[in-house]
DNA sequence: CAGAAATATTTACGCGCGTAAAATTACGAT
DNA sequence: ATCGTAATTTTACGCGCGTAAATATTTCTG
């Protein structure tokens, strides 16, 4: 395809396509904004010459670029990687360019990411914040400048919308299940959790237990960072070894902790499972990609992150379309589903 | 900080800092290229007015941007996510901006990513290709235009350099270990593997077995895509159930397959492990983040991806620095380390 | 302190495209 | 065929900064 000479800019491309440059410019900003016959002539020329407008020159004078920022708190976590993959596809399908940024569990890095985004003048941003650890002031300032939809972890009052999981419902689901089928669970978590939703889940557990007339019991273990499996393994192993738990049933704040605890229980020869004769029952939360390959397989609650991704993206697209900030901050929590497997 | 009026462009910023605009421009391109006293005056003004140059205007006329592309074949795999995290940090530390792109296991997507990168005029690109599935022609054309270092998976002759793992050495290591401590292993893999290094590992297994005077035995199971654990679980379970394996020892082409096989073996009540009285031994390759939490923990070979990341990044930086393409294509394979755990 | 070398300033132009206003053309419906 | 409207073309300017060349200034060297 293409004849010999290279097209250097839109001027030259407009010449070979027989259309004026401003119309070609209109075409690239929105192909449907030009007449059909014009569009066809441009696309014919495009097939012959493979010209692409210079994105830097394009974005320099445009007030809004076609870029959408996607900020993920910790991309090495397969759970977040999976959400990122989903949302990326949605952004591409909507004709935008996703800019994927990883906060790597670090609040300073999160702020850096927002700074980078600001420089890029994105049409909008989808932000899964670190949560409690986040620099609220920095995010607030950012949201004031750029249409931003928060997801996964809420920061009260920030952004034009928030979509996440209904931790009250989902934790309630698994607490009910555990209570119905055996001893009421203790709640295993980090004393100072990195995980954004941890505090909500803790309170949801407490409420669910009280609702059923049981006394909540929190097992809060030390540990920093995002290596949850290691913390679950080390501290879970310790707890199990020490004994003295008021229950044989452990509900973990998330699947990654549960994977560690499960592994420790196996090492120690404890029989984990829902069947008769078990020594321990262990459950998690999130339906992590690896939770179906633990031994035994992990009973957990799935988050409806397809819905969260879809709704977050669509809300941002609408925000960008209408070019005005949302009058009221939209919020919706999606229900989880009980995933019954072998561990509880 | 900052007085009332906003700085709109470099002209205005140059005015308030008392330096000419071209000098300020020089400063932003390389702070060390201006005299110390000048640098201090600019930085003082910077502290007062928080101005940042418009990156679109900057990059428009620059032949080389400060962007470095980082293309990952499948970001939802924690192994790749971890490498990406490493390399991202190195890129940032070197003063460049990482552009993280995910091919999502799809060759067409990989080509799209390279197209996007081309539009961004990156100073260089670090590319972990899909391997056999990759569109060789497209990558070749890209490498001709942009300094590119391949890593993880080699495509013979493409890019200015390649750094990866020495599969011959690492597979040899684990085959030797398995042979020394029990029955020679069969090799479990996908018949049509998605994984870039799969074919190299297959041949490495064959050579290692022949070297020790054993007949290689390939178990090639059906399955598409990147859900390796599911394939390992389904097909591994089938193989184990059918019986008739010439060995009780299974070496899997990668840890994710092994995780699935291990899970299947557990479900079927087979005793897996290196101890006496085991029914099965299972080993993997990669030292995947989850391999230390399987039941039993997975014996495997670690890739030295810190070295791979470091060397790949450094080579690209040098390439960018000298502004000339490498005269000879550099290649280095890093040795793996045996990780002895419970499964074999 | 003079002269050389390094650095800064001035001046000027160009990059590739967005976009506005006015003039022209093409289109669809009467 | 006629009209009104929508689409296109023409013309023109500006965005914010890179960069080159000539000139002026500072800093370093002996």
pLDDT over 90 percentage in chain A: 82
Residue B16: CB less than 7 A from any atom in strand D: no
Nearest nt to the CA of B56 via C1' is D16
Lookup: nucleotide whose C1' is closest to A34 CA: D7
Q: Which site among B103, B108, B225, B293 would you substitute to test the A interface, given the most A Cβ atoms closer than 10 Å to its Cβ?
A: B293
Which phi and psi (to 5°) does residue A166 adopt? -85, 85
Give me the residues of chain B with pLDDT under 50, please: 1-2, 4
The single residue listed with the structure tokens 């049409």 is A123
Is residue A60 less than 8 Å (CB to CB) from chain B? yes
Contact between A170 and A303 (Cβ < 8 Å): yes
Q: pLDDT value at position A30?
A: 86
CB contacts, 8 Å: A262 with chain B: 293, 295
> Residue B20 CA to nucleotide D18 C1', Å?
14
The CA distance from A213 to the nearest CA of chain B, in Å, is 35
Query: CA B214 from chain center: how many Å?
Result: 33
Q: Can you give the distance from the CA of residue B33 to the C1' of nucleotide D16 in angstroms?
A: 21
Residue contact B100–A104, C-beta within 8 A: no
Provide the CA B75 distance to its chain's centre, in angstroms: 9
Protein-to-nucleotide distance from the CA of B36 to the C1' of C9, whole angstroms: 17
Nucleotide nearest to A41 (CA to C1'): D8
What is the radius of gyration, based on Cα positions, of chain B?
Answer: 25
pLDDT of B129 reads 97
Q: What does the block give as tokens for A339?
A: 């995933």
Given this model, what pLDDT does residue B5 score? Answer: 63
Q: Is the CB of A23 under 7 A from strand D?
A: yes
- The total of other beta-carbon atoms located within 10 Å of residue B141's CB is 14
Q: What is residue A6's predicted lDDT score, i.e. its pLDDT?
A: 80
| Contact at CB, B82 and A60, closer than 8 angstroms | no
Rg (Cα) of chain A, in Å, rounded? 25
pLDDT of residue B280: 94
Cβ within 8 Å of residue B162, ≥6 positions away: B149, B150, B151, B154, B329, B330, B331, B332
How far is C-alpha A314 from the chain's CA centre?
15
Is any Cβ of chain A less than 8 angstroms from the Cβ of B172? no
Structural contact between residues A240 and A250, judged by C-beta atoms closer than 8 angstroms: no
Mean pLDDT of A292-316: 96
Which of A1, A235, A293, A295 best probes binding to B when mutated, by most B CB atoms within 10 angstroms?
A293
pLDDT tens readout for residues B68-88: 999 999 999 999 999 999 999
What Cα–Cα distance (Å) separates residue A303 from each residue in A178, A308, A337, B313, B316?
A: 18, 9, 7, 37, 40
The alpha carbon of residue B289 and the mean position of all alpha carbons in its chain are separated, in whole angstroms, by: 14
Listed in sequence order, the residues at least 6 apart from B172 whose beta carbon sits closer than 8 Å to its beta carbon are B204, B207, B208, B211
Q: Is B52 on the interface with A (CB under 8 A)?
A: yes
CA A105 to CA A130: how far, in whole Å?
Answer: 7
Cβ of residue A141 closer than 8 Å to a chain B Cβ: no
With CB atoms and an 8 Å threshold, state whether A293 touches B263: yes
Q: What residues of chain A lie within 8 A of the CB of B55, using their CB?
A: 56, 119-120
CB A162 within 8 A of CB A149: yes
pLDDT digits (tens, 9 = 90+) for A32-65: 888 888 899 999 999 988 899 999 999 988 877 8
**Residue B35: which nucleotide is closest by CA–C1'?**
C7
- Dmax of chain B from CA atoms? 83
Tell me what the mean pLDDT of segment A322-342 comes to: 90
Q: Residue A1's pLDDT is what?
A: 47
Give the C-alpha separation, A148 to A69, whole Å: 9
Q: Which residue is nearest to nucleotide C10 (CA to C1')?
A: B20
State how far residue A211 is from chain B, nearest Cα, in angstroms.
Answer: 35
* CA A280, B340, B230, B129 torsion-angle sign: positive
pLDDT tens digits, residue range A126-169? 999 999 899 999 999 999 989 999 999 999 999 999 999 999 99
A/B interface, count of CB pairs below 8 Å: 113
User: CB of A188 within 8 A of CB of A216?
Assistant: no
A positions 120-139 inside 8 Å of B (CB): 120-121
Nearest chain A Cα distance for residue B29, angstroms: 16
Q: Do B262 and A289 touch (CB under 8 A)?
A: no
Predicted local confidence at residue B63, as pLDDT:
75
**């050495």: which residue's tokens?**
B169
Cα(B224)–Cα(B241) distance, integer angstroms: 22
Q: Is B273 helix (H, G, I), strand (E, B) or coil?
A: coil
Q: What is the pLDDT of residue A275?
A: 79
Q: How many Cα atoms are found within 13 Å in the side-chain-facing hemisphere of A131?
A: 15
pLDDT digits (tens, 9 = 90+) for B278-320: 889 999 999 999 999 999 999 999 999 999 999 999 999 999 9
Whether A100 sits inside 8 A of B102 (CB atoms) is yes
Tell me the CA–C1' distance in angstroms for B14 and C10: 14
- Name the residue closest to D9, CA to C1': A20
Please tell me the predicted confidence (pLDDT) of residue A5: 64
pTM for the whole thing? 0.92
C-alpha span between A70 and A114 (Å, rounded): 10
| Residue contact A289–B76, C-beta within 8 A | yes
- In the predicted structure, residue A193 carries a pLDDT above the cut 70: yes
**CB contact at 8 A, B234 and B240:** no
pLDDT for residue B325: 76
Residue B5 makes CB contacts below 8 A (sequence gap 6+) with none
pLDDT score, position A325: 75
């Amino acid at each position: 395809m293409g004849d010999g000479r290279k097209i250097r800019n839109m001027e030259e491309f407009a010449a070979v396509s027989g259309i004026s440059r401003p119309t070609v410019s209109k075409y690239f900003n929105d192909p449907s904004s030009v007449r059909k016959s014009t569009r066809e002539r441009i696309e014919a020329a495009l097939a012959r010459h493979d010209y692409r407008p210079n994105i830097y020159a394009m974005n320099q004078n445009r007030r809004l670029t076609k870029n959408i920022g996607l900020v993920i708190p910790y991309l090495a976590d397969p759970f977040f990687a999976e959400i990122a993959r989903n949302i990326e596809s949605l952004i591409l399908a909507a004709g935008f360019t996703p800019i994927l940024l990883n906060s790597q569990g670090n609040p300073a890095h999160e702020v850096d990411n927002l700074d980078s985004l600001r420089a890029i003048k994105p049409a909008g941003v989808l932000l899964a914040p670190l949560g409690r650890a986040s620099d609220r002031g920095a995010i607030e300032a950012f949201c004031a400048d750029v249409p931003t939809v928060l997801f996964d972890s809420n920061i009260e009052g920030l952004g034009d919308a928030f979509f996440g999981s209904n931790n009250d419902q989902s934790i309630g689901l698994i607490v009910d299940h555990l209570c119905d089928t055996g001893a009421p669970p203790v709640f295993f978590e980090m004393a100072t959790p990195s995980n954004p939703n941890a505090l909500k889940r803790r309170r949801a557990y407490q409420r669910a237990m009280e609702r059923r007339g049981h006394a909540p019991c929190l097992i809060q273990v030390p540990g920093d960072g995002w290596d949850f499996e290691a913390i679950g393994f080390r501290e879970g192993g310790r707890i199990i070894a020490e004994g003295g738990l008021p229950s044989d049933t452990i509900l973990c704040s998330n699947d990654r902790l549960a994977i560690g605890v499960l592994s420790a229980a196996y090492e120690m020869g404890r029989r984990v499972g829902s069947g008769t004769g078990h020594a321990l029952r262990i459950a998690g939360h999130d339906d992590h990609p690896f939770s179906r390959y633990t031994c035994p397989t992990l009973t957990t609650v799935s988050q409806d992150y397809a819905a969260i991704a879809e709704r977050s993206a669509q809300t941002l697209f609408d925000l960008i379309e209408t070019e005005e900030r949302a009058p009221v901050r939209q919020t919706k929590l999606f229900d989880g589903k009980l995933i019954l497997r072998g561990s509880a």
